[in-house]
Amino acid sequence: MAEQIFIGDAPTTEAGKEIRFPSGEVWVALHTCITSHVYPDLPFFPAIAARDAEVLATAINGALDAGSCTKHFDDQTLLEDLGTPKEEVLTAEKYLGWMKRFAVFLQGCGGCRPG
């Protein structure tokens, strides 16, 4: 899958200008986690208003702090049977890192849209 980009509408931080997921696979994994544990109605290619972006960032950070995202990605990587336990841990950590970056992007984007 191709790279997935979201562009900040009125960025207030450098991180809020844009976020580029290296593949659609990363966005699919994040979207699945968000719709499972944070916000079930998030569209697949969302245009998000400024206030909603802040609320979603706060909710994602709450899920990260509570461990919901960690459990989700750990469970998903086990289901995908990636080979070795080390590969599974690295994949879960990769998705957690992208989830944290997405929350930072949302906090500073002033609303966003797919690029």
4: tokens are: 């997935």
Lowest-pLDDT range of 20-24, 75-79, 85-89 = 85-89
Helix 24-37 vs helix 85-108: crossing angle, to nearest 10:
80
Above 80 in pLDDT, residue 94?
Answer: yes
Rounded-to-integer distance, Cα 101 and Cα 98, Å: 5
Rounded-to-integer distance, Cα 89 and Cα 83, Å: 11
72: tokens are: 């989700």
Residue bearing tokens 């990636």: 82
| 93: Cβ contacts below 8 Å, ≥ 6 apart | none
* More confidently predicted of 89 and 24: 24
- pLDDT tens, residue by residue, 52-71: 999 999 999 999 999 999 99
| 33: Cβ contacts below 8 Å, ≥ 6 apart | 63, 69, 72, 73, 95, 99
